[in-house]
A and B are shown apart, each in its own frame.
Chain A
Amino acid sequence: MLLESVEYTRPRNLDEALRALASREGAAVLAGGQSLVNVLKNRVASVDLLVDVSRLDELRRIEVGADGGLEIGACVTYDELERSDDIRGAQPMLASAAGHIEDRQIRNRGTIGGNCCLSDPSNNLPPLLIALGATMNVQGPGGGRQVPAEDFFFGYFMPALEPGEILRSISIPPLADDAGVGYQALSVGHDSKAIVRAAAHVRGGDTIEDARVVLAVVGPRPVRHSAMEDLLNGAPASAETVERASEAIGDGDGLEPISDAHGSADYRRRVARVLARRAVYEAMMRGARS
């Protein structure tokens, strides 16, 4: 298919990219293109300038801080996440989640930043990044700002980015020695689109602390379930605790999933509780093992 007329530029650095992006209203950031190129084919957005940031060195680094925290450039690909020793060491669940996105071709092109900036509620990485307590480092014409991951996914295809802003990198704090992460999805097929996702983080050994429970594909944005978190924090780390805490989700009142060919809204609400329970249990087990 021939796309609508469009201009393309490949800036040499982030400053140039920011300038190109600010130069007109119809400018858009092109990262891996694994969603944006389809958007262009569908002609649903009026983009007249593509600012290709996918090869910018500044956006392609993975840095490990002295404390074990990570700073991952927005244009690091899924394949690079999966293969990076630094990521496998510090955040094994992130490496594994990236390695199960769709297929090899998409993993070679798709980027962590694009996965977030699309703000598609069914995408793999956003709920996990919220559970990991990540921070999004955003760069705009007037300077940088930081947005907690849980505030970044604003709604369907709406990241918390102002016009002219670029996601530069994502910072992830180190996992505590007694921390564990769980990630569960009910998918249409192997490594494919999810019907519901749940990601969890817990720590604390015998008593649960710092519980983060994130549900996704059950509304316009991934959400933390604070009622379930409250029941987990301070309780003994046991299967019964997890079971009891998951009852806070009940039949998913308050969640706003869509109905589609893969599952009704009602089904998604019910599955949310099951997956949240499994994700927290998985996190607890992994924490206990480490």
Chain B
Amino acid sequence: MSDERDPVVSDEGTAHAIEVTINGETHKRTVLARQLLVHFLRDTLGLQGTHVGCDTGSCGACSVIVDGQLIKSCMMLAPQVDGASIETVEGLAQDGELNVLQRSFNENHGLQCGYCTPGMLMAATDLLRRNPNPSEDEIRHGIRGNICRCTGYVNIVKSIKAAAEAGAGAAEEASR
């Protein structure tokens, strides 16, 4: 965590020095209290894989994993993640290669427009960590917070199932 020091107050509210680890890389920045986490990721750090859909906590497009917990980044403030370790969709591919889950979405047509996909992938990553071999019901329950307006979910469920069968679940569980 960053050194204890008083935030700077201006007519924009408080500004806080924070330190966060994102996909293994440490970032030190000064953030305004009024900045949502999703804008810190997208605008301040340029990590635009995380999408903004509804901006009301309803669609899940902005889902990322903070300290092992799936959350919606439009529902947290940037200073709240001081000291945290964050995983975003940019961290899934390894050495430029899509991981098993991402490949499965590709092969099983788990996306059409792709807007929901980053959030869906993070929700699926979280699900497979907790439950490496989910049933269809468990998959649907796991992605309850993620809306897709294109696919009707059938191919998303299929993609997650296939990824689990290809060992994505076991790998995620081991990585915890």
Contacts and interface: CB of A to CB of B under 8 A. Distances in A.
Contact of A106 (B36, B57, B74): B57
B82 to A, nearest CB: 8
Interface residues of B, number: 34
A5 B13 contact: yes
A190 B60 CA distance: 16
Given A37-B75, A41-B56, A190 B144 contact: yes
A33 interface: yes
For the complex of A and B, the 5 pairs showing the least CB-CB separation, nearest first, are A103-B145, A8-B33, A3-B34, A5-B13, A103-B144
A264 interface: no
A50 interface: yes
Interface string A53-86: 0100000000000000000000000010000000
B9 A7 contact: yes
Contacts of B36: 1, 3, 37
Contact of B77 (A33, A104, A105, A106): A33
A52 B80 contact: yes
Contacts of A5: 11-13, 34
A105 B34 contact: no
Interface of B: 7, 9, 11-14, 16, 33-36, 39, 55-57, 60, 63, 69-72, 74-77, 79-80, 123, 126-127, 142, 144-146
Main secondary structure of the interface of B (DSSP, over half): mixed
A108 interface: yes
A168 B34 CA distance: 26
Given A6-B13, A7-B33, A37 B142 contact: no
Contact of B79 (A8, A105, A106): A8
Given A3-B34, A104-B142, A8 B76 contact: no
Nearest to A189: B144
Contacts of B80: 10, 33, 52, 54
B59 to A, nearest CB: 10
Interface of A: 1-10, 33-34, 37-38, 41, 48, 50, 52, 54, 79, 102-106, 108-109, 190-191
A20 B9 CA distance: 15
B34 A6 contact: yes
A2 B127 CA distance: 31
Contacts of B12: 5
B34 A108 contact: no
B14 A8 contact: yes
9 contacts: A2-B35, A3-B77, A9-B14, A37-B77, A38-B56, A104-B144, A105-B57, A106-B72, A109-B76
A2 B126 CA distance: 28
Nearest to A79: B69
Contacts of B144: 102-104, 190-191
A192 to B, nearest CB: 9
